[in-house]
Amino acid sequence: MLRETVTMTSHPLDSAASDLARQRLMGIGLIAGAFFLFSLLDTSAKWLNHTIPTMETVWCRYVFSVIFVMIVINPRTKPGVLKTKKPGLQIIRSLLLFASTVFNFIAVNYLQLSQTISIAFATPLLVALLSGPLLGERISRDRLIAIVVGFLGVLVVARPGFGGIHPVAILSVCGVVCYAMYAIMTRHLAAHDSTETTLVYSGLVGAVLLTPALPWFWQNPPDFFTTITMVALGAYAALGHFALIKAHRFAPAYILSPFIYTQLIWMVILGYLVFGDVPDGFTLLGGMIVIASGLYLLARERKRQGITPAVIE
């Protein structure tokens, strides 16, 4: 009888490990879902650009995302959410995100989705490079080599001067630079403002900037499906960022980061299904080089911090 009682009683450590594994799996599911939503965002933007002006597409992405975010996060549900200790940095950060979106939405007019995302994967490499002078972080030799190799991967995708992809790829690179600066400012603001405040400002600045100029580029959507897709842009952006934030509450960044690269799979699939695009060997090879460099940087960072990855069963 005693043996049965002992067998049926779960050990507290086993229960804690099970809860931890469940939380991390939820985090992985959320971040994978977030980047699926971001893939839908880029796919929808590319499709809309063939129907309405690009700046109208950008306006939809910001205005409707702000509406969706403000339904949940607003001064009534989160008192003081619009108060920031660093208003200047919040505005600059939001402007960088806005510029990155404009560059990306223009680039997807001419590039395959797999090409834009392969270039975008250089963002963590650029963040690692800029963190030295901007955040005072030391850049080791291994880290610098990984960054250089990653940027070589971007060159493999673009192949400048060798009959590569459309020259507008330079806009994708500009978008990566803006987004890397945006990510660094996000890390800095985390010590001053709440996540909710930073999330609200992310879309608010873009919406405020573009709305007064709307009469100059507005074109009525030709059909109901186009209208729905315009609204969906905001939903994809808002839900994607919510999922991203929630994921980091369930699991640490070193576990979640590798799953960012699942976006390449979604972009290849959606690019083929929606636009009939088939990525060439250079795009896939360059993408794999950039991903490998990013994963190497992640592994080195994990080792530097003495983090041992948990096994999720």
What is the DSSP annotation of the chain?
A: -HHHHHHHSPPHHHHHHHHHHHHHHHHHHHHHHHHHHHHHHHHHHHHHTTTS-HHHHHHHHHHHHHHHHHHHSSTTTSTTTT--S-HHHHHHHHHHHHHHHHHHHHHTTTS-HHHHHHHHTTHHHHHHHHHHHHH-----HHHHHHHHHHHHHHHHHH-TTTT-S-TTHHHHHHHHHHHHHHHHHHHHHTTTS-HHHHHHHHHHHHHHHHGGGHHHH----SSHHHHHHHHHHHHHHHHHHHHHHHHHHHS-HHHHGGGGGHHHHHHHHHHHHHH-----HHHHHHHHHHHHHHHHHHHHHHHHTTPPPPPP-
The answer to whether residue 286 scores a pLDDT higher than 90 is no
Q: How confident is the model at residue 169 (pLDDT cuts 50, 70, 90)?
A: confident
Q: How confident is the model at residue 66 (pLDDT cuts 50, 70, 90)?
A: very high
Q: How confident is the model at residue 134 (pLDDT cuts 50, 70, 90)?
A: low
The answer to whether residue 197 scores a pLDDT higher than 60 is yes
pLDDT at 16: 66
Residue 249 lies in a domain: yes
Residue 280 lies in a domain: yes
Residue 6 lies in a domain: no
CA distance 129 to 136: 11
The answer to whether residue 246 scores a pLDDT higher than 50 is yes
In this prediction, residues 278-287 reach a mean pLDDT of 86
Per-residue pLDDT reduced to its tens digit, 72-115: 888 888 888 888 888 898 899 999 999 999 999 999 999 999 88
Token pair recorded at residue 198:
């930073």
Residue 287 lies in a domain: yes
Residue 311 lies in a domain: no
Map tokens 């995100």 to a residue.
Answer: 97
The answer to whether residue 196 scores a pLDDT higher than 70 is yes
Residue 257 lies in a domain: yes
Token pair recorded at residue 312:
């999720």
CA distance 96 to 28: 28
Q: Who wins on pLDDT, 191 or 86?
A: 86
For residues 298 and 143, is the Cβ–Cβ distance under 8 A?
no
Q: Who wins on pLDDT, 167 or 307?
A: 167
For residues 254 and 301, is the Cβ–Cβ distance under 8 A?
yes
Q: What integer best gives the mean pLDDT of the chain?
A: 83
Residue 9 lies in a domain: no
Q: How confident is the model at residue 219 (pLDDT cuts 50, 70, 90)?
A: very high
Residue 278 lies in a domain: yes
Per-residue pLDDT reduced to its tens digit, 156-165: 887 765 556 6
CA distance 55 to 217: 7
pLDDT at 295: 82
Contacts of 116 (CB under 8 A, 6+ apart): 42, 104, 107, 108, 172, 267
Per-residue pLDDT reduced to its tens digit, 5-60: 444 455 565 666 677 778 888 888 888 899 999 999 999 999 999 999 999 999 99
The answer to whether residue 301 scores a pLDDT higher than 90 is no
CA distance 22 to 16: 10
Q: Who wins on pLDDT, 100 or 132?
A: 100
Q: Who wins on pLDDT, 80 or 275?
A: 275
Render the burial of 192-202: b for 16+ CB within 10 Å, e for the rest: ebbebbbbbbb
Centre a 10 Å sphere on the Cβ of residue 150 and count the other Cβ atoms it contains: 25
Domain count, the chain: 1
| Containing structural domain, residue 76 | 16-304
